[in-house]
Structure 1
Amino acid sequence: MTEACTQGVDTGFVALGYAKVALLGVVQGITELLPISSTAHMRIVPAVLGWQDPGSAFSAAMQLAALAAVISYFWGDVSQLAANSLRALAHRDFHDRSLRFSVWIILATIPIGVAGLFLARSLNACGSELRSLTVIGWACVVMAIFLAIAEIYARHKRTLEDVSLIDAMIVGIAQIGALIPGVSRSGSTLTAALALGLKREEAARFSFLLGLPAIALAGIKELWELHNVQLSLDGWSILVVGLLTASVSAFLAIWGLMRVLERFSAWPFVIYRGLLGAILLFAVASDWLT
């Protein structure tokens, strides 16, 4: 259990070694982009297997794997949005739809950025109460209820072309929920987008595109924190292994999510989240997990 806490930064993943981190990278990649909470699984899987908690630093750094997967999967959307926005800026065409959408994404990232800085010490502290299994269990249950309500009452008619600045800000504010372990960034933003009446697959696209800056900033910030605490070379190499496995599994997770939403609904994730939260709370109450 060495190097679990370095200058106040939770680096428990280093003690796990390459093989365990590679496995957790797969789990992290799959759950990071599905609306089922990667943080919950990063606490549950090690707890069930009797492993050390990899720590919040690992989960945050793994966001870079999610970033790579989202950009790769939605490369057409991302490249077109970037190219059109730059072209509009060059021509001072401030009414261009792509440019306005890009600005909306940036503005919608401000809420989680401010909240993240405010809660940084509590979230990243070693042994943070916010990462307790009880908090995660209740977060899973509550978000399952919210997602179910959105699925029941949503109109599923709007597309990205209908999205406004107000829509972007609402989803951006909902993204703050991702700071609470167990809520899920994908889950909170997808729920908000569905509640705004977007089609399921369009809601997922909106969720991923809007989350790009937040995902990038969270990952880069954590790498900087790990650099500041002088993470060992062995620690960096272990982290890279996790990033590689997480990138592949995250890409597959997006593909799976889009297929489910296109052909079915969000109900499989509602049921999974609800059961996961209930089982987790029962396990903690019965002292099976601590």
Structure 2
Amino acid sequence: MDWLQVWVLALVQGLTEFLPISSAAHLILVPVLTAWEDQGLAFDVAIHVGTLVAIVAYFRHEVAVVTRAWVRQVGGNGATPESMLAWAVIFGTLPAALAGLIFAGVIEAHLRSPLVIATTTIGFALLLWLADWRGRGSRDEFGIRWRDILIVGGAQALALIPGTSRSGITMTAALLLGFSRRAAARYSFLLAIPIIALAGGYQTLQLVQAPPDTVNWLQIGIGAIVSGVAAWLSVHWFLKLIERIGMLPFVVYRLILGIILLWIFL
């Protein structure tokens, strides 16, 4: 793997992980469109760790607050909006985790093609546009209810299909439930923490079980740092601009990308 590939893949992962445009789709498509050799599992683990560190660092205050509230509730001090948000992150993760365990093999074998990505990219772009147009609610993430958790968590499971976008589908569901754009994004980003950690843990287990291979630790380290910095900046600017620009720019991007993919691969 050369250094151009390291930088491109790390930037793609970092910039797209938390935007509603599907990082998985981009990481599948980059090698297809460039004919690069597979970057290897160790590099995939590194760039996911980079984005995980970035999102935890960005939301370190919120993570600390909801964790303390959850611990106090478990200890018998009563429920609060902050402890409810912690439960929302925990239970909102379960559908995707279970679906991943059950359907990972099927998805890997049959749903990672450019045409599937093109279809889901376009289809879920239109659904995101509809949610943004119809939603525009005022609810925040601390007012989340069990019905919301079930719906958003179920939507997150759909993101196992490449091209769906985990952040995109969870924001879509939250917008349809009446959350504000910013609250929908913030809940989606908090949901990303356990799901990325679980995915990274699964990849690490695969890496440990795989035959020993030569690893370029400098490339691994640079990839993790680049993806982390890119992810932090992506989240920061998305939250600053989302109430002003809405989801339309991302919808348009997805539609253009999907059409280009259909033109290339049909």
TM-score normalized by structure 1?
0.84
Deviations 1:189-245 (A, max 9, x none): 111111111111111001111232111111111111111114424166544432221
CA distance in 1, matches of 2:115, 2:263: 9
Flag the 1:63–1:138 CA change in 2: closer, same or farther, 3 A: same
Flag the 1:237–1:165 CA change in 2: closer, same or farther, 3 A: farther
Q: Which residue of the partner structure matches residue 241 of structure 1?
A: 222
Q: Which residue of the partner structure matches residue 52 of structure 2?
A: 67
Determine whether 1:224 maps to 2:197: no
Q: Which residue of the partner structure matches residue 117 of structure 1?
A: 101
CA distance in 1, matches of 2:45, 2:22: 13
Flag the 1:224–1:239 CA change in 2: closer, same or farther, 3 A: farther
Q: Which residue of the partner structure matches residue 111 of structure 2?
A: 130
Determine whether 1:147 maps to 2:128: yes
Q: Which residue, 127, 131, 147 being the options, matches 1:166? A: 147
Alpha-carbon shift at residue 265 of structure 1 (Å): 0.5
Flag the 1:180–1:237 CA change in 2: closer, same or farther, 3 A: farther
- Secondary structure of the equivalent of 1:180? coil
Flag the 1:276–1:160 CA change in 2: closer, same or farther, 3 A: same
Q: Which residue of the partner structure matches residue 284 of structure 1?
A: 265
Alignment root-mean-square deviation, CA: 2.1
Range moving further from structure 2, 228-237 or 260-269: 228-237
Determine whether 1:95 maps to 2:76: no
Paired AA for residue 155 in structure 1: R
CA distance in 1, matches of 2:209, 2:216: 13
The answer as to whether partners of 1:42 and 1:54 remain within 8 angstroms in 2 is no
- Secondary structure of the equivalent of 1:181? coil
Q: Which residue of the partner structure matches residue 80 of structure 1?
A: 65
Alpha-carbon shift at residue 98 of structure 1 (Å): 2.3
Which 5+ residue runs of structure 1 have no aligned equivalent? 1-15, 286-290
TM-score normalized by structure 2?
0.91
Flag the 1:236–1:271 CA change in 2: closer, same or farther, 3 A: same
CA distance in 2, matches of 1:140, 1:58: 25
Flag the 1:119–1:79 CA change in 2: closer, same or farther, 3 A: same
Q: Which residue of the partner structure matches residue 166 of structure 2?
A: 185
Alpha-carbon shift at residue 34 of structure 1 (Å): 0.6
Which 5+ residue runs of structure 2 have no aligned equivalent? none
**Percent identity (aligned):** 37
Alpha-carbon shift at residue 60 of structure 1 (Å): 6.3
Paired AA for residue 95 in structure 2: P
CA distance in 1, matches of 2:38, 2:216: 15
Flag the 1:143–1:206 CA change in 2: closer, same or farther, 3 A: same
